[in-house]
Amino acid sequence: MLLRPFIASTSCILTANVNNIRAVKRFDMRVLAIGDNCIDDYTELGKRFPGGNALNVAVYSSRYTGVQSDYVGIIGTDDCGDYMLEQIQKNGLSTEYIIREPGLTAVTKILIRNGDRVFADYIEGVQKDAQLPYDKIPNPDNYDLLHFTVWGFGRENVKKLSETSKALLSCDFSNQLEDQRTEILPYLDLAFFSGSHLIKKGVDLDLVLRKLKEKTMGTVVMTLGEYGSMVCDGEMIYRGKALPVDVVDTLGAGDSYIAAFLCRKLQGKSIQESIEEGHRAATETCKRLGGWGGEP
């Protein structure tokens, strides 16, 4: 496991081993999410919501008692960018680290079919080929965890951060299990993947999880939608069951699971407890249209 000491705002020194984060009396943890955002446009319903994996994790993390979260991302100077800023502020996050560039904010066109989301189109806008200079990252030592995504910018700084920062490093790779971008796995403390598509193919998920674990000293988490989730820490594989729910929309469910898992681990909970909290959070997200914000 990666062992990097970090200092919580309680002034107690903790050990950044995701399997052995010791609890203290009062938590005041700080999470920094870096990467993608987009407007989720439900064209058929005439509704839109703020979203994007990294931004979602920042928003969901901020809802946990004792956890403060910030977000670094890039948006355009269009109406969608204005709407994004408005929604971020309305949900209690700072917009201090959001970069505005001339052009379009990313937009995902979404259809709902049997309660599940179908991505119809995607406009990348100003996020296309965006890079995040290292000096544009807020002081990483002010945070307990930095979270990245496979779709957003910032991953190019992970290796350097692993060498210079005391913060835990996490990344959501979505369903990109063999993508070149997984080359940062050796530098991560936590790696998240989506594997529900593998179940229909009859793939041995235990084997897949263990192979991913061989590439990192950190903990590997795989969400499986309605089939639950699996976590491998190198010693054993933990399993979680999805909770029953009347699904309105699954958008944001995986991100709420990730935020819950991260926050509970930061607060000293066990892997199994963190898994269970992840499923509870995902269940609540499935009960509404859109990940958060807007007017569901």
In tens, the pLDDT along 23-77 reads 433 448 999 999 999 999 998 999 999 999 999 999 999 999 999 999 999 999 9
Is the pTM for the entire model greater than 0.85? yes
For residues 10 and 253, is the Cβ–Cβ distance under 8 A? no
Question: CA–CA separation, 147 vs 258, rounded Å?
Answer: 10
Which region among 1-5, 251-255, 270-274 has the lowest average model confidence (pLDDT)?
1-5
Give 5 or 285, the one with higher predicted confidence.
285
Closest CA to 139 of 163, 156, 164, 159: 164
Which region among 9-18, 133-142, 184-193, 200-209 has the lowest average model confidence (pLDDT)?
9-18
Residue 110 pairs in a beta bridge with: 119
Bridge-based pairing of strands 107-113 and 116-123 is: antiparallel
Copy the structure tokens of residue 105.
């904010």
Q: Identify the pLDDT of residue 264.
A: 97
CA distances, 219 to each of 44, 99, 169, 203 (Å): 40, 31, 11, 21
Q: Identify the pLDDT of residue 296.
A: 64
Q: What is the DSSP letter of 135?
A: G
Question: CA–CA separation, 120 vs 110, rounded Å?
Answer: 6
Confidence of residue 85 (pLDDT cuts 50, 70, 90): very high
Residue 83 host element (H or E): helix 79-90
For residues 22 and 41, is the Cβ–Cβ distance under 8 A? no
For residues 43 and 109, is the Cβ–Cβ distance under 8 A? yes
SS3 call for 110: strand
Confidence of residue 115 (pLDDT cuts 50, 70, 90): low
CATH number of 33-285: 3.30.70.580, 2.120.10.70, 3.40.47.10, 3.40.1190.20?
A: 3.40.1190.20
Residue-averaged pLDDT of the chain: 91
The percentage of the chain sitting over the pLDDT mark of 70, rounded to a whole number, equals 90
What is the residue whose two structure tokens read 């080359």? 183
